[in-house]
Structure 1
């Protein structure tokens, strides 16, 4: 199994960043506006609708407020032919800022470079969205 780990510093407190990450039904507003058009929750299942109308179904595995960790698995609709996907976000305090860490495990190994490119782009977009929300006075 290939593991991809990316992280970035976000100019917001860990509590503020965690509040957005833990709000699993609002990823389209709080983390990836423009990349995700809508979100529907059904129990532990989250369905992301993309701007082109395609959908990705994820199983929310954990939202741990003590550890500031949210884990999920893509179970349907991925654009890459992955046979396994598991990912987790962790929010780590860093003074008055925070580090957002995203770890993703995938199979087959050969798709790791494509997945890495996506998560590297995604974490940059999330950090920019979170920082802009802080400048606008919202979370």
Structure 2
């Protein structure tokens, strides 16, 4: 199984970063606005529309307020994966900084490099978006 871990250090408070992560219907505004143009919710299903025109359907598995952790599983996406699960967890990294840990597991392994590149790009964009936000 391809497993990818990204540690993102941000110049934002853990409260701010968690608020952005837990806002599951606002991915297109708060996390990756250049890559996702719309986010809609249908119960526990999040539907992302990408700037490329593609779409993904994700099952929201958990939003854990106490642990500041959100997890989801891709049901249908632009890459034909048989398994894709990801989680985001926010930790303090000092008084005004935080560490966002992103873990993604996917199958089949033949797509591991493509998934890794996507995750790295998303991590960079999330950091830039959160640090640039005036919210």
Residue in 2 aligned with 1:64? Answer: 64
Q: What is the deviation of 1:110?
A: 2.3
1:89 equivalent in alignment to 2:85 = no
Alignment of 1:71-110 (within 5 A): 71-76=71-76, 78-95=77-94, 96-110=96-110
Distance 1:44 1:29 in 2: 19
Q: SS state of the match for residue 98, structure 2?
A: strand
Aligned equivalents of 1:83 and 1:64: distance in 2?
Answer: 26
Q: Deviations over 1:80-139 (max 9, x none)?
A: 221110000011110020011110011112211111111011101000000001xx2x1x
Structure 2 CA distance, aligned partners of 1:94 and 1:56? Answer: 32
Q: RMSD of aligned C-alpha atoms?
A: 0.9
Q: Does residue 1:12 correspond to 2:12, yes or no?
A: yes
The alpha-carbon deviation at position 4 of structure 1 amounts to: 0.8
The normalised TM-score by structure 2 is 0.95
Classify the secondary structure of the residue corresponding to 1:127. helix
Q: Which residue in 2 is equivalent to 1:51?
A: 51
What is the DSSP-based 3-state SS (H/G/I as helix, E as strand, rest coil) of the residue aligned with 1:37?
A: strand
How many Å apart are 1:49 and its aligned residue? 1.0
Matches within 5 A, 1:23-38: 23-38=23-38
Say which SS state the counterpart of residue 4 (structure 1) adopts: strand
TM-score (norm 1): 0.93
